[in-house]
Amino acid sequence: MTHRSPPPTHLTFWISKIPDLVWAPIVAGLLMLIVGAFGLAVDEPLIFPSLGPTAFLQAELPQLPSSRLYNTIVGHVLGLGSGLLVVTLLGAGTAPSVLATGELTPIRMWASVLSIVLNLFAGLLLKASHPPAAATTLLFALGGFQPTRHETIVVIIGVFIVGITGEVLRQLRVKATSLRCC
């Protein structure tokens, strides 16, 4: 008995015809537009720097494990958690934000080092590698985000919007590109 793939849908057929040169920039831009528009609608800064590389991965390299929804969500949550934990344990939250002042203090440097180590360790342990999550870690460690409940929720919502929307588009692209090779 041979296993046959289901026939392609019209949508996956047409998506398979779109070259990467067109697909990837449009999808990455669309993901930023969706999270940005939602942020404007609810008057919250749901778009932040580490979501750009996440959208980039999902749009350009949808076949990579680090582009999957699990890796995206868990990776950013680990990044956020690592940054929050280290900033809290070191008391770095009271130090000036490197991003606001342009000056790196020793405590912010150590918060950055330790939170990246913890983030990478946890990501490897949970098989949730997602390199853009390192930027989420650094946004907390360097003081771009404050260790507050509000900013934590804003980050999580932004990650979920890009993660889920990106996963739908990523799955469409993976299915469509599998049509090209067969």
Task: Report the alpha-carbon distance of residue 92 to residue 107 in Å, rounded.
Answer: 6
Q: What is the pLDDT of residues 134-149, one digit of tens each?
A: 999 999 999 999 999 9
Q: How far apart are CA 115 and CA 108, in angstroms?
A: 10
Site of tokens 């969500």: 73
Q: What is the pLDDT of residue 16?
A: 86
- pLDDT per residue over 165-182, tens digit each? 999 999 999 998 887 655
Decide if 109 contacts 115 (C-beta within 8 A).
no
* CB 149 within 8 Å of CB 93: no
pLDDT tens for residues 107-129? 999 999 999 999 999 999 999 99
pLDDT score recorded for residue 11 = 80
Q: Where are the beta strands (DSSP E) in the chain?
A: none
- CA 128 to chain CA mean position, Å: 12
154: closest CA among 28, 45, 59, 52? 45
Query: Domain segments of the chain: what residues?
Result: 11-181
Give the pLDDT confidence of 69-108 residue by residue, as tens digits: 999 999 999 999 999 999 999 999 999 999 999 999 999 9
